[in-house]
Amino acid sequence: MLIKYKKNFEKIAMGLLSFMPNEKDIKKLQATMKMYETDESSQLFLWKDEDIKGLIGISVLNENEIEILHVSVNPSFRHQGVGKSMVSAIRNQFPDKKLVPNELTAAFLEKCEADHPTT
Ligand SMILES: CC(C)(COP(=O)(O)OP(=O)(O)OC[C@H]1O[C@@H](n2cnc3c(N)ncnc32)[C@H](O)[C@@H]1OP(=O)(O)O)[C@@H](O)C(=O)NCCC(=O)NCCS
């Protein structure tokens, strides 16, 4: 299930974020974490069942749209539907909003949209 990021998950969240191609540099990673902690329109979520397996970060752009900024799954748990489940959980959490990708999440979002052609 999707849980909201809290400070005690900082290390695991940074580890997951670092799998994103634009978050390889530690300074950039720290700046991104700070953005999620301070920017009210940005929210970070973790996917947790027995383990914390993935992360999804969003930004509320306006009353109609949510941008998917980051999606990352621990390599040990990839290809098990965690990524798609996180996108679907965000869709359910914000049912009145359209999900829009950035250049990094576009291809995966497109893959997810194949399952949800109406959004
Ligand atoms: C992208 C990522 C989040 C997918 O997570 P996952 O839990 O393995 O994904 P799921 O199991 O839900 O879905 C797997 C499907 O997505 C496809 N997929 C994986 N990464 C993809 C990508 N970057 N673009 C398009 N499709 C992708 C797989 O080929 C697979 O397709 P299939 O169902 O036809 O076999 C994971 O590979 C990851 O963390 N990558 C590193 C971070 C990253 O690069 N993020 C940017 C893209 S969001």
Distance 2 CA to ligand 1 centre (A): 17
| DSSP state string for 76-96 | GGTTSSHHHHHHHHHHHHSTT
Report the pLDDT value the prediction gives residue 118, as an integer from 0 to 100.
57
Per-residue model confidence (pLDDT) at position 11? 96
Q: How far is it, in rounded angstroms, from Cα 10 to Cα 57?
A: 14
pLDDT band at 115 (very low <50, low <70, confident <90, very high): confident
To the nearest whole number, what is the mean pLDDT of the chain? 95
**Distance in Å, CA 87 to ligand 1 centroid:** 11
pLDDT at 2 over 70: yes
- Pocket, ligand 1, Cβ cutoff 6 A: 19-21, 71-73, 78-84, 104-105, 107-108, 111
Residue 117, pLDDT score: 66
Going along the chain from its start, the domains and CATH numbers come out as: 2-113 (3.40.630.30)
Q: What is the pLDDT of residues 69-94, one digit of tens each?
A: 999 999 999 999 999 999 999 999 99
- What stretches of 11-83 adopt beta strand conformation (E)? 42-48, 52-60, 65-73
Measured in angstroms, how far is the CA atom of residue 95 from the centroid of ligand 1? Answer: 23
| Measured distance between the N- and C-terminal CA atoms of the chain, rounded to whole angstroms | 21
Please give the structure tokens belonging to residue 58: 């969003």
In 3D, which of 115, 116, 109 has the Cα closest to residue 56?
109
Nearest CA-CA partner of 52 in 108, 2, 105: 2
Band (pLDDT 50/70/90 cuts) for residue 42 is very high
**Residue 44 contacts residue 13 (beta carbons within 8 Å):** yes
